[in-house]
Amino acid sequence: MEKLKQSIGSAFKANDLGEVSFLLGLKITRDRRARKLWINQQSNVDSILQKFNMEHGAGVATPTAAGKKLTKQQAPATEEATAKMLKKPFRQAVGSLMYQMIGSRPDMAFAIQDTSRFLSNYGEAHWQAVKRCIRYLKATRNYGLEFSGNAVVLRAYTDSDYAGCEDDRRSVSGYVTMIGNCTVTWSSRKQRIVAQSTAEAEYVALAHCTREVLFLRQLLKELGYEQAATVINEDNQACIAIAENPAQHSRVKHIDVRYHFIREHVQHKDVNLQYVVSKDNVADALTKGLPRDQLEYLREAMNVKSMG
């Protein structure tokens, strides 16, 4: 570390301010003896609650109501209703929540992805969904990511919610990547195609996850941590069969060729696809709204924990 500091100091004007404790809204706490580090954004949560006048509102246990869908049909139907909704700080709220999610809260990824689809035309149901996210933040204001352990082994989880969007029947892809037991990157996004089966939706989600895994493998290699085949956990056995068995080409030839790069990396042993039951698939929390008990179980698995 000292050598790195000297190298930077010789090229740039720099001051050593000591151990970092706060950076870009992220509070960083560490216990060197226990080899643990925590990142949370509690001050940002307080700012959000104050900005949207929700300091005294009741908290909720989940960011989305399980099974409840947001649709375009819930947008205003008249100019009067539209004008009324434009007075609501919907876009500002989504932006504030987005920063929170990107920094330390993968458990909110699906909820933010879902509400952000309506930035150009939002109704009362969409606004209430955003307010629910804020109430969830209030209930979990001291939660953040915990990093611990010595293992530098990359692994990932991927999932999709087949035809989850009621407006266009596109699916939602989600992935979580971890080093040891520590979550490092995550994503929840709507797919660009209309999948014709659950297996196809899972295959597209697997492609998104694989791209992220390949990037992280290269990054770790440059840092001196070359990886064996990275385990990607998938809860759809048909999807795994498509990726591992080129003989199934006739069944999947309609799938865009850009997704079939997965097969090459399976054959080259860059990735190792493993089946995981849905209840243990961490990425499930990034593709749909879940009941409280399942969300809390997967949140714990992502190492999103209370900082006390």
pLDDT in tens, 235-257: 999 999 989 886 665 566 677 67
Rounded (5°) CA angle 155-160-166: 160
CB atoms < 10 A from the CB of 302, how many? 23
Phi (first) and psi of residue 35, to 5 degrees: 55, 50
Instruction: State the pLDDT confidence band at 15, using cuts at 50, 70 and 90.
Output: confident
Contact 236, 270 (CB under 8 A): no
Of residues 254 and 209, the one with the higher pLDDT is 209
Q: Where in the sequence is the domain holding 79, given as residue range(s)? A: 40-143
**Claim to verify: residue 253 and residue 226 sit in the same structural domain:** yes
DSSP 257: G
- Asked if residue 302 belongs to a domain, the reply is no
In this prediction the pTM is 0.92
- Asked if residue 27 belongs to a domain, the reply is yes
Write the CATH number for 204. Answer: 3.30.420.10
Average of per-residue pLDDT across 155-173 = 97
pLDDT at 11: 85
Indicate the average pLDDT of the chain.
93
Q: Could you give the CA distance from residue 52 to residue 49 in angstroms, rounded to a whole number?
A: 6
Q: Could you give the CA distance from residue 190 to residue 168 in angstroms, rounded to a whole number?
A: 11
**Claim to verify: residue 154 and residue 271 sit in the same structural domain:** yes
pLDDT in tens, 59-71: 999 999 998 999 9
- Asked if residue 282 belongs to a domain, the reply is no
**Claim to verify: residue 34 and residue 58 sit in the same structural domain:** no
**Claim to verify: residue 138 and residue 162 sit in the same structural domain:** no
Is the per-residue pLDDT at 258 higher than 90?
A: no
Rounded (5°) CA angle 40-41-44: 175
Of residues 9 and 132, the one with the higher pLDDT is 132
pLDDT at 247: 66
CA distances from residue 193 to 25, 77, 163, 169 in whole angstroms, order as listed: 36, 28, 10, 9
**Claim to verify: residue 107 and residue 155 sit in the same structural domain:** no
Tally of domains within the chain = 3
**Claim to verify: residue 272 and residue 154 sit in the same structural domain:** yes
- Asked if residue 268 belongs to a domain, the reply is yes
- Asked if residue 308 belongs to a domain, the reply is no
**Claim to verify: residue 125 and residue 83 sit in the same structural domain:** yes
**Claim to verify: residue 45 and residue 115 sit in the same structural domain:** yes
pLDDT at 283: 98
pLDDT in tens, 17-49: 788 888 888 999 999 888 899 999 999 999 999
b (16+ CB within 10 A) / e for 110-137: bbbbbbbbbeeebbeebbebbbbbbbbb
**Claim to verify: residue 91 and residue 157 sit in the same structural domain:** no
**Claim to verify: residue 262 and residue 219 sit in the same structural domain:** yes
pLDDT at 249: 59
In the numeric block, the tokens 């151990």 are attached to 19
Of 143, 177, 193, which closes a domain? 143
Is the per-residue pLDDT at 164 higher than 90?
A: yes
Q: Could you give the CA distance from residue 113 to residue 286 in angstroms, rounded to a whole number?
A: 9
**Claim to verify: residue 177 and residue 240 sit in the same structural domain:** yes
Is the per-residue pLDDT at 8 higher than 90?
A: no
- Asked if residue 290 belongs to a domain, the reply is no
**Claim to verify: residue 34 and residue 52 sit in the same structural domain:** no
pLDDT in tens, 84-127: 999 999 999 999 999 999 999 999 999 999 999 999 999 999 99
pLDDT at 76: 95
- Asked if residue 293 belongs to a domain, the reply is no
Of 105, 124, 143, which closes a domain? 143
